[in-house]
Amino acid sequence: MFVDQARVHVQAGGGGNGCISFRREKYVPKGGPDGGDGGHGGSVILEVDPHVRTLLDAREEPVHRAERGRPGSGNNRTGRDGGDLVVRVPPGTVVKDDEGRTLADLVAPGERWVAARGGRGGRGNARFATPTHQTPRRADPGEPGEERWLALELKRIADVGLVGPPNAGKSTLLARVTRARPRIADYPFTTLEPHLGIVELDPERRFVMADLPGLIAGAHQGKGLGLEFLRHIERTRVLLMVVDAGSPDPAGDLAMVTGELAEHSPGLRAKPRLVILSKADILPPEALAEAPRRAGLPDARPVSAHSGLGIPELLERLWASISVPEPAPGDDPPRT
């Protein structure tokens, strides 16, 4: 099951209490205070694990508690620290608080973020001894650990995002150029969740391609399945706009998809993109050259995932597009 949202409660361990103790030993008169400090509480840590694919585990077990620190004891013995609790999350996990503010963006494998910090252990009475106060009967309690609710959102990481209306041929294209096997059928919304595949041009050149559920008009308002998964293309380097060559209005389809992207996030408007006319094998060979102009998309390239028409050239253009360094904030996006 693909789960890309979860709400979790994290609770760090409290610190152990400090100890009040006085040394009582034969032949050692007036041994003085020897109460040890309490141990520190364990923290709750989110760690990126590339082998974790979804947030299913986080949703199924929403409460995460770290271990408390142990109290101190006599003979100046410090209590044992509580163990940290490591919660593994997939790459691309965004952490937000209840007010929607982004607290962490976890991308790199092995990257860690402390979600709740453990409490400090209390001081034992040995800490309070002074030349003028040699028998302190005071110790500090351990501090409580941090506790809060967090919202986790998964934004899949890909270099190229396939975007288009339902049944435009995105899944077929992904299956053609990668080893991914998304569901393919002749009715809309066969793709119910994002699919990732690795395109390998040669041993030195690889990139990740993501197929998203089709977009329909009003997707940014919750219609269809697009809104639920649009967050996954916010990380892509290049958008590949897939338009069905057999559609009655290819230019209108592209305008609709572009508008839905802009309504969801203005930043998507600035992403570099390529446009292709899929299912070009249904067109007569003599009409291929004029197909983009007749469709109202002069910059589009005819492509067929079934016959392989235009696939090698498309992959080379995609590689060239993702190889361009990302622009700094405020710069114009590269044109492809």
Question: In Å, how far from its chain's centre is CA 22?
Answer: 53
If one counts every other C-beta atom within 10 angstroms of the C-beta of residue 301, the result is 17
User: Are both 127 and 226 inside the same structural domain?
Assistant: no
Q: In what order do the strands lie in the sheet with 44-48?
A: 85-89, 44-48, 112-116
Domain harbouring 229, CATH code:
3.40.50.300
329 is a domain residue: no
Question: Is there a domain that residue 333 lies in?
Answer: no
Are both 171 and 307 inside the same structural domain?
yes
Domain extent at residue 76: 1-154
Residue 205: CA count within 13 A, CB half-sphere: 11
Together in a domain, 150 and 166: no
Answer with the one of 154, 179, 212 that is the final residue of a domain. Answer: 154
From first to last of its 336 residues, the chain has per-residue pLDDT tens of: 567 789 999 999 999 999 999 988 877 777 889 999 999 999 999 999 988 878 888 888 999 999 999 999 999 999 999 999 999 998 889 999 988 899 999 988 999 999 999 999 999 999 999 988 888 999 999 999 999 999 999 887 788 988 888 888 888 898 888 887 765 545 444 555 678 888 988 888 888 888 877 776 655 555 555 556 677 777 788 999 999 988 889 899 899 888 888 887 777 777 888 999 998 888 888 878 888 888 888 888 999 998 899 999 999 999 998 876 655 444 444 443
Q: How many domains does the chain divide into?
A: 2
Residue 292 falls inside a structural domain: yes
| Residue 85: CATH number of its domain | 2.70.210.12
Contact 74, 36 (CB under 8 A): yes
pTM of the model: 0.69
- With respect to residue 336, please indicate whether it lies within any of the assigned structural domains: no
